[in-house]
Amino acid sequence: MLDEKKVVLSGIQPSGNLTIGNYLGALRNFDAFPDCKCIYCVADLHAITVRQVPAELRRRTYETLALYMACGLDPEKNILFVQSQVPAHAELGWVLDCYSMFGELSRMTQFKDKSQHHADNINAGLFTYPALMAADILLYQTDLVPVGIDQKQHLELARNIAERFNGIYGDTFTVPDGYIPTTGMKIMSLCDPTSKMSKSDPNPNAVVYILDEPEVILRKFKRAVTDSGTEVCRGEGKEGIANLMNIYACFTGKSDDEISAEFDGRGYGAFKQAVGEAAAECLRPIREQFTRLMADKAYLEEVMKKGADQAAYYARKTMSKVRRKVGFAL
């Protein structure tokens, strides 16, 4: 355990603009562990399982780091770093590949989904991605991993790998637990509320990005798919309204009953306007701080270097133990 504190680790890929789903389901909850050692990485190694334009990947890496800080993560209180700048991730990833079963990796639903969307590039990295994710987690003896519902399967694999390795070689890795927030854990598309909001959605009206301007946010919510009724409540066939209620609850802290009472007799138009305004107002300071941070590339690189040095220090401790256990020459 790092510094005798519980360790929290999470990461986000720098592949595409981040959405309010990323914010409400992950970024907003990253500061919820004041008594823990918190480690957050920009997961650029994971991003290249899908072909990337190098200059765009590099730019988005800076942007994701800036968004971490704009959303409230203080680099003086947390370890913020870029995954590829700590080579131990790739090293442990290979070791854990050798302790991950083919059948386990074959059952990963994200591999199946991405294989369908990128049929021309079903590469080995896409298949072994969960073992690298396990390495990210186990490298820091992580106790707690904030995850969305769609990542639970990967976390369970990380636990299985840790237990398998520990069973063979003795106590080596901390077996991590997941942390799933009670609100905002799955935000759906504004155009198809049966599908998760995705930063790679080709329809820009389906997605609200963290960095969207207020007028864009309002326009997207006004166009959000609902149903033929007028009552703001949950129910069968009201997936669109339920999604908007989830979003409004996340931004305002209001309960379903409070939301239904607030918009009783007012109709969907007033509700969509209110959801858009709440989102725009909450995201405004994040966008403004992001702009300030992106104007200071030298500072972002300073944060990257400091964070990578801190992360590498802890990673070396784990890798020293792993190398000794598996029999590598020291």
Q: Which active-site residues does the annotation give?
A: 114, 196, 199
CA–CA distance, 314 with 25 (Å, rounded to integer): 27
Closest CA to 41 of 49, 51, 30: 30
The two tokens of residue 37 are 């050692």
Beta-carbon contacts of 204 under 8 Å, excluding residues fewer than 6 positions away, are 220
